[in-house]
Structure 1
Amino acid sequence: MTLTELAWLSLAAYAIHMVEEFMLDWRDWARAVIKLPVDWGDFYITNSVVVVLGIVQAQLAATFPLAPLVFAALMLVNATFFHVAPVIWTRGRFSPGAITAVLLFYPMAYGVYARAAADGVLTDGLLAGSLVLGAVLMALPIAFLHLRGLPYFRQTP
């Protein structure tokens, strides 16, 4: 399978993941377990951006391999720190999204990195850069959630 095909499949995996999170009430879990001040509007907007990023990375995969590697890293960070680790930290409390994180995100991310390595484009710098950028992409919405609660960022008179 080509890097482009894997990039498109990664987006499909993310879409299925979003359905799991929505159907199993990720918002209430996030509020209760990881104390994120999140509402459904935040979920919709953030995941809409993920879809756009997924389309862009798949379109760029053949000529700009960093794009699908960053998307794969985003999947790894999401799976690890927002699904698997919280299940461990809470001694088994289910995290909506954990099923698709384990069954889809880890294998897809591995596939993207393995294909990039087999194609000879995965350098140490590209690996490190993708992981950093994936972590930054995952952190941005969380940072904005916390910033909006500060007086300077409130838009009400």
Structure 2
Amino acid sequence: MTTLSRKFFVSATTALAAVALVACSPPHEKDSGLKVATATGVSLPSKNASATSTVDVDEDAPGYIDCVAAPTQQPSEISLNCAMDIDQLTEISWSSWDAESATGTGTRVVTTADGQETETEDVEVELSFPTESSQGLVFTQVTVDGQVLFL
């Protein structure tokens, strides 16, 4: 990863965190009798809700958190750039999913600055490094065609 890419990633992450913090705590907030329905009243999707299941998976196997979503197993799509949504894997077909890693193939869709999309089919994807999170065990590393991506 180049220094410029790292600086951009750090800057984008910092800006995103600042926007989220400001949005969560507006200045001069006044309590109101009007209540807005929030996600606390919505149940989480099942572990395979967004997936096209291609292999049997143990219910206790790690999931994957795509950006800020709830963990799922065998997602059919993964965003590789959560800040700008310009790089993603689609149509993922999983060949294995176990306690240590998950492997599959999919199509990588990259959107350029001028809005043009390029698609690369049959890219290899691997999820690895399961880590305990507040939402359970999840994979924390994504590798595409042998290259580790820092999300």
Same topology, TM > 0.5 = no
Q: Which has the higher helix share?
A: 1
Output the TM-score relative to the length of structure 2: 0.26
Comparing both structures, which one devotes a greater share of its residues to strand?
2
Bigger radius of gyration among the two: 2
TM-score by structure 1 length? Answer: 0.26
